[in-house]
């Protein structure tokens, strides 16, 4: 089996979720080729060998510095042909998910997104998907010879002991018609841990009483190397930007640890966090429904507990 992995990058660095995609591909068995597009640092590419890639194709064309879905999908479909790939693996994201769809349509592949685990190949090729906003799973069989799999964060562990991968230049056809959607501007939080990528997320709700108190959460997040998120009312009121809104209609996260401060735990919020490995809830209301979904809880005033927790983590780190 030949597996192609599309790796996403951010400011020249390969994203962690793409490391997981390479590790997932390696877990399928077979030969793994990674594909990177646009400007990516050279040592980031060779390092993909560590996660299981035997070769890296790099299409460094300047036109690919902008992440245009149609253009990327056309290049990836060509790379599948070039490497005789049976399977394409990529990370679920605002870029990866639509690309998965367009490549699947172009190469006539079976398509599954939101995949959470390695396939069951005992009879056929079945993958486990997260559905009903994290409230259930389904197993689906991918029956076509070619398959496109978009994985959710933590579907595979990005650890590996492989060596460095050989990087090869890839020069696909790039069509003007793939740039019908023009990107005219980008606003991105820089330097922070990206919320969908974060291993630890510290989120605040209405219980934080106002945007001026976010410094408390940011201090805790900084100590933990965490990203910050918020509940829907908080982004609706404009306390925090929409891209930090965690929940059913916002960002869905699956970190190792989710710390919710002053969030009651409406079912719509839980839909965005219920695939987190561990959940800590800090709320002064002992009846907050979030405690039912939590692993650890503290009933107390966020304004006292959070600074204390920040200090305790600092002390524990030494």
CB of 136 to other proteins, least distance (A): 5
Angstrom distance (rounded) from CA 107 to CA 81: 9
Nearer of residues 20 and 49 to other proteins, judged by Cβ: 20
Angstrom distance (rounded) from CA 194 to CA 165: 27
CB of 96 to other proteins, least distance (A): 10
Nearer of residues 1 and 267 to other proteins, judged by Cβ: 267
Nearer of residues 31 and 133 to other proteins, judged by Cβ: 133
Three-state SS at 144? coil
Q: Of 126, 100, 88, 91, which Cα lies nearest the Cα of 1?
A: 88
Nearer of residues 69 and 118 to other proteins, judged by Cβ: 69
CB of 46 to other proteins, least distance (A): 24
Nearer of residues 165 and 216 to other proteins, judged by Cβ: 216
Residue identified by tokens 């906003």 is 133
Nearer of residues 169 and 187 to other proteins, judged by Cβ: 187
> DSSP letter at 261?
E
CB 246 within 8 Å of CB 203: yes
Q: Of 202, 192, 249, 190, which Cα lies nearest the Cα of 230?
A: 202
Q: What are the angstrom distances between the C-alpha of 315 and each of 28, 199, 240?
A: 42, 21, 29
CB of 316 to other proteins, least distance (A): 5
Neighbours of 65 (CB within 10 A): 12
Nearer of residues 161 and 184 to other proteins, judged by Cβ: 184
The distance from CA 70 to its chain's CA centroid, rounded to whole angstroms, is 20
CB of 212 to other proteins, least distance (A): 23
- Sign of the CA dihedral running 56, 73, 114, 8: positive
CB 284 within 8 Å of CB 305: no
Q: Of 318, 56, 309, which Cα lies nearest the Cα of 169?
A: 56
Residue identified by tokens 């780190």 is 317
The answer for residues whose C-beta is within 8 angstroms of residue 212's C-beta and 6 or more apart is none
CB of 3 to other proteins, least distance (A): 18
Nearer of residues 54 and 248 to other proteins, judged by Cβ: 248
Angstrom distance (rounded) from CA 133 to CA 247: 9
CB of 144 to other proteins, least distance (A): 4
CB of 122 to other proteins, least distance (A): 11
CB of 169 to other proteins, least distance (A): 27
CB 235 within 8 Å of CB 250: yes
Nearer of residues 163 and 225 to other proteins, judged by Cβ: 225
Angstrom distance (rounded) from CA 268 to CA 249: 8
């Amino acid at each position: 089996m030949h597996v192609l992995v599309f790796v996403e990058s951010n400011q020249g660095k390969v994203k962690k979720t793409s490391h997981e995609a390479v590790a997932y591909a390696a877990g399928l068995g077979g030969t793994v080729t990674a594909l990177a597009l646009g400007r990516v640092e050279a040592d980031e590419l060779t390092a993909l060998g560590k996660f299981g890639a035997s070769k890296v194709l790099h299409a460094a064309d300047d036109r690919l510095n902008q992440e245009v879905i149609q253009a990327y999908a056309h290049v990836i479909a060509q790379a599948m042909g070039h490497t005789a790939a049976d399977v394409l693996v990529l990370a679920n994201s605002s870029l990866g998910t639509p690309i998965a769809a367009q490549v699947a349509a172009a190469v006539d592949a079976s398509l599954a997104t939101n995949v959470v685990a390695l396939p069951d190949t005992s009879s056929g090729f079945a993958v486990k998907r997260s559905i009903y906003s994290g409230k259930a799973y389904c197993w689906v069989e991918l029956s076509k010879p070619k398959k496109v799999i978009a994985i959710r964060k933590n579907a595979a562990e990005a650890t590996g002991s492989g060596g460095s991968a050989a990087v090869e230049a890839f020069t696909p056809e790039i069509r003007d018609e793939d740039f019908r959607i023009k990107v005219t501007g980008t606003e991105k939080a820089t330097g922070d841990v990206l919320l969908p990528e974060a291993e630890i997320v510290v989120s605040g709700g209405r219980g934080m009483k106002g945007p001026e108190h976010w410094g408390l959460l940011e201090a805790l997040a900084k100590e933990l190397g965490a990203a910050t998120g918020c509940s829907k009312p908080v982004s609706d009121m404009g306390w925090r930007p929409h891209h930090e809104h965690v929940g059913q209609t916002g960002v869905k996260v699956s970190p190792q640890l989710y710390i919710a401060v002053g969030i009651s735990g409406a079912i719509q919020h839980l839909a965005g966090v219920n695939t987190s490995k561990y959940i800590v809830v800090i709320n002064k209301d002992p009846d907050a429904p979030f405690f039912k979904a939590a692993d650890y809880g503290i009933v107390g005033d966020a304004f006292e507990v959070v600074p204390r927790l920040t200090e305790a983590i600092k002390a524990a780190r030494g």
